[in-house]
């Protein structure tokens, strides 16, 4: 674990696996941080050098009062360069998929393979905020545990048992850095009205887009639209996942990432 100064901002990163292995940058979702994707990083670390940053406005990285999706994409591209690589694989989960796609748009040559998990191409705000607004829930003022409990109706597959849900929730909340209401508001402003569609044609990376069949936040139709705007992208739906796909069908996701990146 360490801090890197990237474009004048301090970014906290966690590293997994041998630095001699192919570089894979793993980007977490909304209000999360590198700790929330650490279990997935650990599973990938026998085949990749996995670097998981805390996105701007999240975790232990700098929390600017104002930043943009473009800033996040630039940070990821700079991270790859700072680590001494001409290019790398980017894997983004939920909001992390928006950030990873933006990085591939801004500097196409920096991204050799792009895996976008439970993502979408555009939105008036984050998917979680949109769902909370529809349901009249104060997501910004909620604790991580309260937010995850509220989101249950939108994020789980019916195939995920109550025991497994509780295990995942506990795992997500144990080491995550909780954001203040003001910090959450800054994150939401950074995503307000984002639309990647006009620029997705710039992506040259081999791309895999994955959606969960029961995802109530970014449903398969959103993933399919995202894939349709990226030249040559593959699209796949996991039948036993919702929005927490990375933890509901982890074995399949790990196997698919390894196969896609190392054999495509």
Sketch the domain layout of the chain as residue ranges: 2-263
- Residue 252 confidence class, pLDDT cut points 50, 70, 90: very high
Q: Mean pLDDT across the stretch 236-263?
A: 97
Secondary structure (H, E, C), 200-236: HHHCCCEEEEEEECCCCCCCHHHHHHHHHCCCCCEEE
pLDDT at 120: 97
Q: Mean pLDDT across the stretch 258-264?
A: 95
Secondary structure (H, E, C), 46-115: CCCEEEEECCCCCCCCCCCCCCCHHHHHHHHHHHHHHCCCCCEEEEEECHHHHHHHHHHHHCHHHEEEEE
Helix (H) / strand (E) element for 145: namely helix 144-150
- Pick from 185, 209, 52: which is nearest to 121 by CA? 209
Q: What's the distance, CA 202 to chain centroid?
A: 20
Asked if pLDDT for residue 186 goes beyond 90, the answer is: yes
pLDDT digits (tens, 9 = 90+) for 52-80: 999 999 999 999 999 999 999 999 999 99
- Residue 163 confidence class, pLDDT cut points 50, 70, 90: very high
pLDDT at 12: 98
Q: Mean pLDDT across the stretch 195-219?
A: 97
Distance of alpha carbon 145 from alpha carbon 149, whole angstroms: 6
Give the sign of the dihedral formed by CA 184, CA 190, CA 194, CA 196: negative
Strands 206-212 and 9-16: unpaired
The torsion defined by the Cα of 81, 1, 104 and 216, in degrees rounded to 10, comes to 180
The torsion defined by the Cα of 105, 107, 109 and 113, in degrees rounded to 10, comes to -50
Beta-ladder partners of 115:
91, 208
CB 164 within 8 A of CB 192: no
| Cβ within 8 Å of residue 234, ≥6 positions away | 207, 208, 209, 227, 260
Radius of gyration of the chain (CA): 17
- Residue 146 confidence class, pLDDT cut points 50, 70, 90: confident
- Residue 144 confidence class, pLDDT cut points 50, 70, 90: confident
Asked if pLDDT for residue 197 goes beyond 90, the answer is: yes
Strands 88-93 and 111-117: parallel
Q: Mean pLDDT across the stretch 168-186?
A: 86
The torsion defined by the Cα of 4, 45, 92 and 113, in degrees rounded to 10, comes to 100
Q: Is 120 helix (H, G, I), strand (E, B) or coil?
A: coil
pLDDT at 141: 85
Q: Mean pLDDT across the stretch 27-46?
A: 96
The pLDDT > 70 percentage for the chain reads 100
- Pick from 70, 114, 91: which is nearest to 206 by CA? 114
Cβ neighbours of 3 (radius 10 Å)? 13
Give the sign of the dihedral formed by CA 185, CA 194, CA 149, CA 135: positive
- The matching CATH number, chosen from 3.40.50.1370, 3.40.50.1220, 3.40.50.1820, 3.40.50.300, for 2-263 is 3.40.50.1820
Asked if pLDDT for residue 172 goes beyond 80, the answer is: no
pLDDT digits (tens, 9 = 90+) for 31-40: 999 999 999 9
């Amino acid at each position: 674990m360490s801090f890197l100064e990237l474009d004048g901002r301090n970014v906290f990163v966690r590293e997994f696996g041998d630095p001699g292995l192919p570089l894979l940058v793993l980007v977490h979702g909304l209000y999360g941080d590198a700790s929330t994707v650490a279990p997935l990083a650990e599973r990938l670390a026998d085949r990749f050098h996995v670097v998981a940053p805390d996105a701007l406005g999240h975790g232990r990285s700098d929390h600017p009062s104002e930043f943009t999706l473009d800033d996040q994409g630039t940070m990821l591209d700079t991270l790859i360069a700072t680590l001494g690589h001409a290019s790398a694989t980017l894997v983004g989960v939920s909001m992390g998929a928006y950030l990873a796609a933006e990085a591939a748009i801004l500097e196409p040559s920096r991204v050799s393979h792009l895996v976008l998990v439970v993502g979408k191409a555009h939105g008036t705000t984050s998917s979680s905020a949109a769902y909370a607004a529809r349901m009249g829930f104060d997501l910004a003022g909620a604790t991580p545990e309260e937010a995850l409990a509220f989101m249950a109706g939108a994020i789980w597959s019916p195939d995920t048992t109550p025991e497994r849900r509780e295990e995942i929730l506990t795992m997500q909340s144990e080491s995550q850095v909780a954001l203040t209401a003001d910090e959450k508001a800054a994150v939401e402003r950074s995503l307000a009205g984002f639309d990647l569609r006009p620029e997705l044609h710039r992506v040259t990376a081999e791309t895999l887009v994955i959606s969960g069949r029961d995802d109530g936040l970014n449903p398969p139709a959103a993933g399919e639209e995202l894939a349709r705007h990226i030249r040559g992208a593959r699209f796949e739906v996991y039948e036993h996942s919702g929005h927490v796909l990375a933890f509901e069908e982890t074995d399949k996701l790990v196997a698919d990432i390894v196969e896609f990146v190392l054999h495509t």
